[in-house]
Amino acid sequence: MTRKSRPSKNTEDGRRGNHPRSGRWLLQDAKARFSELVRRVRTDGPQLVTVHGRETVVVVSAEEFRRLKGNPTGKALVEVMRASPLRDVDIEPRRGPLPVRDVSL
């Protein structure tokens, strides 16, 4: 028994639009050709991987990831606090007496 081929949105190689040259990879292709995927990330930029036709993950270079993630320095918190309308309010923490232990010498 042979299958009838139906018209589809296939590309030249018979796949459904997820060709590595377009920056889109089927998961099975990405796994089988991981080294090529990494090379293309470095040369062509982010690469999209699909699972069952759905866009699932994007593979980016480490440099791009760091740029997008940002550096957790606390600068954003300091800037927010400086921009606060309450920045001039003095806050004195309440401190109760601390318990004292007896020390034998």
| Domain contains 44 | yes
Q: Tell me how many domains the chain contains.
A: 1
In a domain, 46, yes or no: yes
Percent of the chain with pLDDT over 90: 45
Q: Which two tokens stand for residue 30?
A: 């990405």
Q: Which of 50, 56, 64 is nearest to 20 (CA)?
A: 50
In the predicted structure, residue 11 carries a pLDDT above the cut 80: no
Can you give the pLDDT at residue 2? 54
The sign of the CA dihedral 12, 17, 18, 21 is positive
Does the pTM surpass 0.75? The reply is no
15 has pLDDT over 60:
no
Strand partners, 25: 49
Q: Is the confidence at residue 104, as pLDDT, over 80? A: yes
Q: Residue 23's domain spans which residues?
A: 9-69
Average the pLDDT over 11-38 and give the result: 80
Q: Has residue 41 been placed in a domain?
A: yes
